[in-house]
Amino acid sequence: MTKIEYVAIADQVDQSNHPSTFLTKYIWSQDHKVIAIQYSITAIAVGLVALVLSGIMRLQLGFPNEFSFIDPASYLQFVTMHGMIMVIYLLTALLLGGFGNYLIPLMIGARDMVFPYLNMLSYWTYLLSVFVLLASFFVSGGPTGAGWTLYPPQAILSGTPGAHAGILLMLTSLAIFIVAFTMGGLNYVTTILQARTRGMTLMRMPLTVWGIFVATILGLLAFPALLVSAIMMIFDKVVGTSFFMPAILSLGETLDHSGGSPILFQHLFWFFGHPEVYIVALPAFGMVSDVIAIHARKNIFGYRMMVWAIIAIGGLSFVVWAHHMYVSGMNPYFGFFFATTTLIIAIPTALKVYNWLLTLWRGNIHLTMPMLFAIGFIFTFTHGGLTGLMLGNVVIDLPLSDTFFVVAHFHMVMGVSPIMVLFAAIYHWFPLLTGRFLDNKLGKFHFWGTFLGTYAIYLPMHYLGFLGVPRRYYAMGDTDFIPESAQTLNAGITVSAIIVGLVQFIFIANVIWSTFKGKKSGRNPWQATSLEWQTADFPPGHGNWGEQLPQVYRWAYDFSVPKVKDDFIPQNLPSEEVEYLTSERNNDRGKK
């Protein structure tokens, strides 16, 4: 076949391609940076809804029966919507749609994603999924209250809040989200594989790109499981099939279903659900690695091991899903298998934690805002990870599974930890977006409020779990085995949660104020080596690189290289142009 002569997007410098109207520049934009901001604003906005929902839940738990607008049904609805929004519509969308979109082309030296139109379509489809989800607040019966795992049969049976329109809107919204993610995901992997600039080999990519790359592949392979289960559950609900629905008596009435397997849904859900943990975690791992290396002025410890660990975690994440289902009554050998794989996945994960610590070890640590959040992440992630190891064992999980211990565990590992990284990343890359720093004083207040506040929430919550306080309950009622003091603790947790929630509004105020009035950062304020800081214009304009694409000569972690004048060497700086302290070139560096 004859080869098509096509001007690759990476080499397009035609000025006529630049959007000129407000609509094409900011609304129907195909620029990856604008799409990233659209994704981020939407994700944060819907995340704030979920934050408010969690505050309402905590009010009920801390001060039961004090608030008339929270009844058992609405409590379950708030739990469900909080969980689903936070995991899918905030974290996944913000980490991949937001940071993935912004950073991939800039970090690999491309002008844009390889399919900009598809990228734009991905955002608008995502927005549609958010609207469909939020519409469930306004339909008869309200949103579904089936819990974020949406387990059948109860998810679609009368008696469960939102069992009619609510659950259908949730499932439809998820299906639309998956279509949006697939469009975006195909773009991310293809861009990374095909649009890297000259010299940007795979092993020269910053770990942020590696994290996003592997997480996207996980998403592409794991989200279909959620899609399949959503489609089959919609059929069970609307058409009356029995994919997941067994023969069942509901509210005194025998239903027409028979023979379906609710456990099958659980397998499908967690086949998606566990990789989802790493879809969120891997980009966070990558970003925190870069933040730590840059702000400790030291090359990342064990770069190759970090890459291999990301790949290993990605692969292993597909064979641990049933550790979420120990209480479903599985074969003990099955449980043994999944407990083993769960412990194995801890090895590459622990390796990453050690490597972050060893990067910090004897580094020139700058306690900037990004670094504070990155160190905070190491704490919260280690705590969440260690309780994960405990729950990975069947005998420990069985008594703790339905208690607040699990809630505390997954919030530490999957809620607080990625959010610490998100804040580290926002503080770190904010100057790239706006040319200004986020305010440091407000930032410190934000960091300590968030870090100490989340510990004040989740440390006692582990203890509540050990006491046996069950999760998902609207109120304890007369529960003899739970002491009165547990309620006092719950009230304390609620106060902490409200404080942490309010602190986030300080962060939002900081973002808005700093965007317009913040201290100007100048070019490359953190003296980073990676390409996104080396653009022709700062902040980068449409097309990113001006006339000429950058050429990459080195990896992204040349910090504090002996005998070199500056303590960083940008990736696009040729060896001949590196300034040395002595007249001789340092030939020893390659013999390390």
Binding site for another protein (CB under 8 A): 1-6, 8-11, 110, 114-115, 182, 185-187, 189-191, 193-196, 198-204, 220-221, 224-225, 227-228, 231-232, 235, 239-243, 256, 258-261, 264, 268, 271, 299, 303-304, 307-308, 311, 551-555, 557-558, 575, 589-590, 592
Q: Which amino acid is at 163?
A: A
CB of 208 to another protein, least distance (A): 15
Closer Cβ to another protein, 334 or 505, answer by number: 334
32-62 and 116-135 helices, crossing angle to 10°: 20
- Rounded least distance, CB 275 to another protein, Å: 11
Min. distance of Cβ 268 from another protein in angstroms?
7
- Say how far apart CA 375 and CA 420 lie, in whole Å: 9
State the nearest-atom distance from the C-beta of 368 to another protein, in Å: 24
Distance, in Å, from the CA atom of 545 to the CA atom of 470, rounded to the nearest integer, reads 55
For tokens 């456990």, name the residue: 263
| Strand residues in 57-200 grouped as ranges (E) | none
Q: Among residues 177 and 243, whose Cβ is nearest to another protein?
A: 243
> Interior CA angle at 272 toward 266 and 276, to 5°?
130
Q: Which of 431, 395, 393 is nearest to 528 (CA)?
A: 431
Task: List phi, psi (to 5°) of 245.
Answer: -95, 120
In angstroms, give the least distance from the CB of 110 to another protein: 8
- Looking at the Cβ atoms of 88 and 227, the one nearer to another protein is 227
Which residues on neighbouring strands pair with residue 250, listed in sequence order? 253
CB of 553 to another protein, least distance (A): 5
Considering beta carbons, is residue 262 or 501 the nearer one to another protein? 262
CB closer to another protein, 305 vs 452: 305
Say if CB 351 and CB 308 are below 8 A apart: no
Q: Are 500 and 451 in contact (CB under 8 A)?
A: no
Alpha-carbon span 425 to 283, nearest angstrom: 11
Q: Is 274 helix (H, G, I), strand (E, B) or coil?
A: helix
Between 116 and 283, CB nearer to another protein:
116
Burial category of 574 from C-beta neighbours within 10 Å (exposed 0-12, middle 13-18, buried 19 and up): exposed
CB of 1 to another protein, least distance (A): 6
- 216 closest CA partner among 104, 350, 346: 104
Q: Which residues pair with 403 in a beta bridge?
A: 470
Distance between CA atoms of 372 and 448, rounded to whole angstroms? 9
Q: Cα(422)–Cα(373) distance, rounded to whole angstroms?
A: 9
- What is the number of other CB atoms lying within 10 angstroms of the CB of residue 128? 15
Cβ distance to another protein smaller for residue 43 or 192: 192
Q: Which is nearer to another protein, 225 or 374 (CB)?
A: 225
Q: Is 226 helix (H, G, I), strand (E, B) or coil?
A: helix
CA dihedral 387, 392, 394, 400 (to 10 degrees): 30
∠ Cα 412 415 417 (to 5°): 65
User: In angstroms, what is the minimal distance from the CB of 579 to another protein?
Assistant: 16
Give the shortest CB-332-to-another protein separation in angstroms: 16
**Residue closer to another protein, measured from CB, 53 or 227:** 227
Q: How far is the CB of 131 from another protein (least distance, A)?
A: 23
The contacts of residue 13 (CB under 8 Å, 6+ apart) are: 543, 546, 547
CB of 241 to another protein, least distance (A): 4
CB of 531 to another protein, least distance (A): 14
Sequence-distant (6+) residues with CB within 8 A of 332 are: 394
Which tokens in the block code for residue 6? 């096509």
For residue 29, how many other CB atoms are within 10 A of its CB? 20
Nearer to another protein, 85 or 200 (CB): 200
For residue 253, the cross-strand partners are 250
Q: How many Cβ atoms are within 10 Å of 253's Cβ, its own excluded?
A: 8
The residue among 113 and 369 lying less far from another protein, judged by its C-beta, is 113
Smaller CB separation from another protein, 137 or 151: 151
Q: How far is the CB of 20 from another protein (least distance, A)?
A: 22
Q: Which residues contact 19 (CB under 8 A, 6 or more apart)?
A: 25, 29, 30, 31, 542
Q: In 38-76, which positions are buried (b, 16+ CB within 10 angstroms) versus exposed (e)?
A: bbbebbbebbbbbbebbbbbbbbbbebeeeeebeebbbb
- Least distance to another protein, CB of residue 551, Å: 8
The residue among 291 and 310 lying less far from another protein, judged by its C-beta, is: 310
**Which residue's CB is nearer to another protein, number 182 or number 368?**
182
